[in-house]
Chain A
Amino acid sequence: MNRYEILNQVYTNKVKTVIQENYRIKTIEIDHRMDCLPGQFLMVWIPGSGERPMSIGNADPLTISVANVGKVSGEIVNLVEGDRISYRGPFGNPFTIPKNAKKILCIGGGYGVVPMYFLARKAKEAGVNAIAVIGAKSENDIVWEKQLFVVCERVHITTDDGSKGKKGTVMIEVNELVEDVDAVYACGPEKMMAAVAKLCREKKKFCEVSIERIMKCGVGICGSCAINGKLCCMDGPVFTGEEALAMEEFGK
């Protein structure tokens, strides 16, 4: 053996495409086909700035969607086609689709739709129908709607201000849709995910949510992302609704 194997190397590849989704979110397609699953994430590194977890939106080409909210995300959205992007991963546990599921519900808020698209796409490939619900503040905040249309049977939209779809939270749609699906998935604000998880408990539906915490190492050793005895990066970020509801911090 010439070299020891590195479990988690830093990849550097070219940015293939950059898509401006709205006033603050950009989607970045990377010239890399990665072996990864919906719900997993990358640690994206901008030399000289920092490193942040980003959900994977697609495996081929490897895709992320980034909201410009601060230091590192602000650097990532400045990347243009042909630039190089560096990252480690994939990390975390993916979503799971129960064996006998025929129809699933994918609920995304904000950039939470990113892993929901990837999940719906994988579901479709496996012959499972997906229905999507996108929740947003207003019309301008909706992203990945077109992509979801391609892989979902239907896409429902709710906005806080009623500028598109139904006015209100995703729950107005979810309350009805939950009845005829076999599994429910949510990624977005914790209050929303908590409401979804509680509904699924009541309706006895399989439910998984994706939880965000500040992550530093990404590989389960530093403990920064600890949430009630679990590590978000290793044990999550996908947790069952019941696991999430058992966490004191969840949904606060």
Chain B
Amino acid sequence: MAEPRRVLVLVKYVPDAAGERSFADADSTTVRTTEGLLSELDEYAVEEALSLAESGGWEVTVATMGPEQAGAAIRKALQMGADAGIHISDEALHGTDALGTSAVLAAAVRKFSDEGGCDLLLCGMASTDAGMSVIPAMLAERLGLPQVSFASQLSVEGDTVRIRRDSETATETIESRLPAVVSVTDQINEPRYPSFKGIMAAKKKPVTTWSLADLGIEPAEVGLAASWSPVTEVSKRPPRGQGTIITDDGEGGVALAEFLAAEKFI
């Protein structure tokens, strides 16, 4: 049998939107929640990699950069069915901006590729916390790879990846040679529940941890201090005010329309 091709899915550990948030970090630049999880938008990328693997001949590895707790995002992907995980973790990474993150990820991809090849890189279309959508492009640039973004459909034939991208006015079909960086949207598939067998099997799957030293990156190149656009402060938004309650005494529709007009919704 031929060696399986290797897809690397880049995932992020994000705060659970449903969790409690606190803002009292030492440098008050980080939003913390008690609970975090695999970014929902990255689940689509994992699912896409898994269905590629099910079509045969692919091995799925997931990688994340983040603190120790971020291992949970890798474990979730392994539970869904990914084969292996890479956790890039280093004290010095705290506060790294997108540019720094892309440099670290690029180094990790090179290392991954050196160790066994890398045929495809998959990412979600954005993270659910920072929501910048820039990492795939930065990564492609740093690695000198083609980038096809916002795929709502993906297929691979030989050394070509073909994606569909839906915009408001047109649907494009785009082809690229492999390896390439592809980001996928939330329209591309329906991510699976991890099965019990998947959860049990995940306990035995390999997770490798890489530090900055493993990647040949100097701590000074990353982190809050090296950030091009550091977050200097985070504070809580005041809670939303009470809504307006309109009692329908026969004129409810009119009152509603007036309200919407006053708020410039209509």
Decide whether A and B assemble into one complex.
Answer: no
Please list the residues of chain B having a beta carbon within 8 angstroms of any beta carbon in chain A.
none
